[in-house]
Amino acid sequence: MAEPLLQATGLSKSFGSVQALEDIDVTLHEGTIHGIVGPNGAGKTTLLSVMSGYLLPNAGTVQLRGRDITGLTPQRRVPLGVVRTFQNIRLFGGLSVLENVMIGQHAHARTGLSSLLPFRTASDRRLLAEAKDTLELFDLARYGKRPVSQLPYGVQKQLEMARAMATRPKVLLLDEPAAGMTTEGRGQLSTRIRRLRDEGVSVVIVEHDMDVIAKVCDEVTVLNFGRRIMHGEPLEVLSSAEVRTAYLGT
Amino acid sequence: MSAFTEAVLIQTGINVLLALGYWIAVSTGKYSFGHAAFMAIGAYGSSILTLKMGWPLPLALIAGAVVSAVAGALVGWIALRLSMLYLAIITLVFSELLITLLNQWDYVGGGSGLLGMTGTTVTMVLICVVLVVAYLILLTRSRMGLAYEAIREDERAAMGSGVKITLVAVGAFATSAAVTGIAGGLAAHQQLIINPGLYGPQQSLIIILFCVFGGVQYFWGAAIGAIVLGLLPIYFNGLADWYQIIYGLLFVVLMIVRPQGLIGRSRAGIFPVGLSLRRAAPEPEPRVREEESVG
């Protein structure tokens, strides 16, 4: 098999006496969607935070195409193509949808003193057009200049994904994108995530909604109490007795 | 123009520069509680150059601003990666340290300070104000300004969008210190005499109040705050002892009626001290906090 795109090896992380992750391996292959499931407190978000650079692991490495990125901050991973979303939405609440997406382009745009010059270069215009396209793609263009903190929850979730896409990621790390969505919204979300994969973005998705997991994932890793208890294809994993026990208790 | 009008114009211009300079740091959501230190650096730096080295004032002002910017970058680099509370403490301590140092330094006259600086003109102040305003207009329309706002709104989200938050915030803080340093230099060369006591917490507070009074959402709000508050003591000096009381009452009323300041939309999160403190203080350093412990 080809070299994995993102590989987490032997990750451990503890908070005080709580072992949030223990010797976790996750491999994301290019062009695939990898689901992370598990009961509350299993360590899913911690895993995502370690992979995106928000947390340093106590042990283990994260590699992007063979390059060790374990110690890089999120702002250094973004230009390499690794970006995440948050379980509890984190937008720039006072800014507009367009401004939020433009901040997502930060790593690709002129942002130093030269960005102060009162004229736009060709690349500035291209980026602005790209930002507007992204808004169209996520059906957000109609929200105009309103501060995004005033927009409905579902729209904010869309915007967070749009902003993440504006960074031009190779690896998109989604933390519970379906939480709080309507059934219809979840359907659209599944379609959208698959379309992103078809366009060449590889996805790691933490999700509680098993419908979404079953629909979009190529591979699934199950965590429980910080350990990997299973790994495989979605149907196989979701129907296994061990996973059912972990979720339902014994 | 009468000498009085001239003095009032210069004073007002300097106040506006102080407010605008402070606003640059505030636009990234960072509140310094020792900005008078950068005034002191600009004032002493330029005064040493004009008095002792015979430099022309404009050059001395620029040099003072550069030194001030370097100091701002150093303080910012130490303090800006920490939460708001630590930034407040570090900036305050920095200004106190600087005053102590100046008090002990015989070369600049110790506690009695320096004497004999002149040369600040209305034109000079006006040019500085115009340049800073032009810079701010360009800044607030640029992607750099957008990055400032991103940091103010949510640092963690900004990191996750590829904004190098420390670098950007330190840049803003250094620019802010430079403008404040110029204002300090201009003031020194108007008032003839400077001493360390002028740059204590009282002066830092005045700068903060300019911004809070005018509103921090737009830079011209801060400028208007500086103009109004700066003129009050000049035209209401008949109030004598009552002045401080009325000044205090004014702020109490403002906080209740218009917490966002004179200028600006009312919005949760824009009001600086109260809300930002509450939001920033309980959070430990960025790389070790996560929602997972509860979820």
**pLDDT at B147 > cutoff 70:** yes
Chain B contact for A102 (CB, 8 A cutoff) = yes
| Contacts of B278 by beta carbon, 8 Å cutoff, 6+ apart | none
pLDDT of residue B285: 39
Q: What residue in A sits closest to B161 (Cα-Cα)?
A: A104
Q: Are residues A43 and A112 in the same domain?
A: no
pLDDT digits (tens, 9 = 90+) for B162-184: 999 999 999 999 999 999 999 99
Domain boundary among A105, A140, A168: A168
Q: Are A175 and A76 in a shared domain?
A: yes
Are both A73 and A175 inside the same structural domain?
yes
pTM across the whole model: 0.87
Best B153, B154, B170, B270 member to test A by mutation, with max A CBs in 10 Å, is B153
Q: Helix B201-214 and helix B3-26: axis angle, to 10°?
A: 80
Mean pLDDT of chain B: 86
CA of A1, closest CA in chain B: separation in Å? 31
Query: Which pLDDT score, from 0 to 100, does residue A3 have?
Result: 84
Residue among A74, A79, A102 minimizing CB distance to B159: A74
With CA atoms as reference, report the closest residue to A104 among A48, A160, A45, A142.
Answer: A160
Which chain A residues contact residue B287 at CB under 8 A?
54-56, 73
Across the interface, which of A20, A40, A92 has its CB nearest the CB of B149?
A92
List of residues 6+ apart from B116 with CB closer than 8 A: B51, B192, B193
Range of the domain at A142: 90-168
Please check whether residue A87 touches B, CB under 8 A: yes
The CA-based diameter of chain A, rounded to the nearest angstrom, is 66
Residues A180, A245: one domain? yes
Asked if residue A85 lies in contact with residue A177, where contact means CB atoms within 8 angstroms, the answer is yes
Is A45 an 8 Å CB contact of chain B?
Answer: yes
Verify that A4 and A29 share a domain, yes or no.
Answer: yes
Q: Is A77 in the same domain as A176?
A: yes
B267 close to A (CB below 8 A): yes
Predicted confidence (pLDDT) at residue A238 exceeds the cutoff of 90: no
Name the helix (H) or strand (E) containing A51: helix A44-52
Task: Tell me A46's DSSP state.
Answer: H
- Percent of chain B whose predicted confidence (pLDDT) is above 70: 89
| Minimum CA–CA partner of B141 in chain A | A116
Q: Both A233 and A112 in a single domain?
A: no
Whether A1 and A25 map to the same domain: the answer is yes
Q: Are residues A124 and A143 in the same domain?
A: yes
Q: CB contact, 8 Å: A123 with chain B? A: no
Chain A residues in contact with B134 by the CB 8 A cut-off are none
Tell me, yes or no, whether A127 and A174 share the same domain: no
pLDDT exceeds 50 at position A72 = yes
The answer to whether the beta carbons of residues A79 and A168 sit under 8 Å apart is no
A115 touches chain B (CB under 8 A): yes
Helices (H), chain B: 3-26, 36-47, 57-79, 84-104, 122-140, 143-153, 155-160, 165-191, 201-214, 219-235, 242-257, 273-280
- Of the residues A99, A134, A168, the one at which a domain ends: A168
Tell me the residues of chain B between 136 and 195 that have a Cβ less than 8 Å away from chain A.
138-139, 141-144, 146-147, 149-150, 153-154, 156-165
The mean predicted confidence, pLDDT, of chain A is 90
Q: Using an 8 Å Cβ cutoff, are B76 and B174 in contact?
A: yes
Q: Please tell me which residue of chain B has the smallest CA distance to A38.
A: B295
Cβ-defined contact of A116 to B292 (cutoff 8 Å)? no
Q: Where are the beta strands (DSSP E) in A138-233?
A: 171-175, 202-206, 219-224, 227-232
CA-wise closest residue to B225 among B215, B234, B217, B233: B215
- Cα–Cα distance for residue pair A63/A27, rounded to 1 Å: 10
Q: Which two tokens stand for residue B294?
A: 């509860």
pLDDT digits (tens, 9 = 90+) for A204-220: 999 988 889 988 999 99
Say if B284 is an interface residue toward chain A (CB within 8 Å): no
What is the average pLDDT across A110-129?
87
Residue after which a domain boundary falls, among A128, A148, A168: A168
3-state secondary structure of B117: strand
Is pLDDT at B266 greater than 80 in this prediction? Answer: no
Band of residue A194 on the pLDDT scale cut at 50, 70, 90: very high
Count residue pairs from A and B with Cβ separation < 8 A.
124
H or E element that contains A77: helix A74-77
Map tokens 């990898």 to a residue: A34
B292: nearest CB among A45, A107, A109: A45
Same domain for A63 and A33: yes
The CB-side HSE value for A61 (13 A sphere, CA atoms) comes to 8
Q: Which residues sit opposite A83 in a β-bridge?
A: A172
pLDDT-wise least confident of A110-119, B55-64, B254-263: B254-263
| Predicted local distance difference test score (pLDDT) of residue B259 | 78
Q: Are strands A18-28 and A33-37 parallel, antiparallel or unpaired?
A: unpaired
Residue among B102, B85, B72 nearest B200 (CA): B102
Tokens matching residue B287: 């790389």
From the list A90, A106, A167, which residue is nearest B147 (CB)?
A106
Closest listed residue to residue A51, CA positions, set A174, A148, A152: A174
* Nearest CA-CA partner of A64 in A52, A54, A56: A52
The domain that holds A210 is classified in CATH as 3.40.50.300
Q: What is the mean pLDDT of residues B140-159?
A: 94
pLDDT digits (tens, 9 = 90+) for B40-55: 999 999 999 999 998 9
What is the pLDDT, as a whole number, of residue B277? 39
Chain A residue numbers touching B269 (CB-CB < 8 A) = 93-94
Nearest CA in chain A to B290: A46
- Lookup: tokens for B76: 């910012």
The residue with greater pLDDT, B111 or B278, is B111
Partners of residue A147 in chain B, C-beta under 8 Å: 267
pLDDT digits (tens, 9 = 90+) for B219-253: 999 999 999 988 887 777 777 777 778 778 888 88
Give how far Cα B160 sits from Cα of A62, A135, A149, A239, B270, Å: 17, 19, 18, 35, 22
Q: pLDDT class for B280, splitting at 50, 70, 90?
A: very low
Would the pLDDT of B279 be above 50?
no
d(CA A33, CA A189): 13
The answer to whether A109 contacts chain B (CB < 8 Å) is yes
The number of domains in chain A is 2
Closest residue in chain A to residue B136, using alpha carbons only: A116
Please classify residue A235 by burial: count the beta carbons closer than 10 Å to its beta carbon, then call 0-12 exposed, 13-18 middle and 19+ buried.
exposed
Cβ B45 vs Cβ B62: under 8 Å: no
Residue A180 and residue A235 in one domain: yes
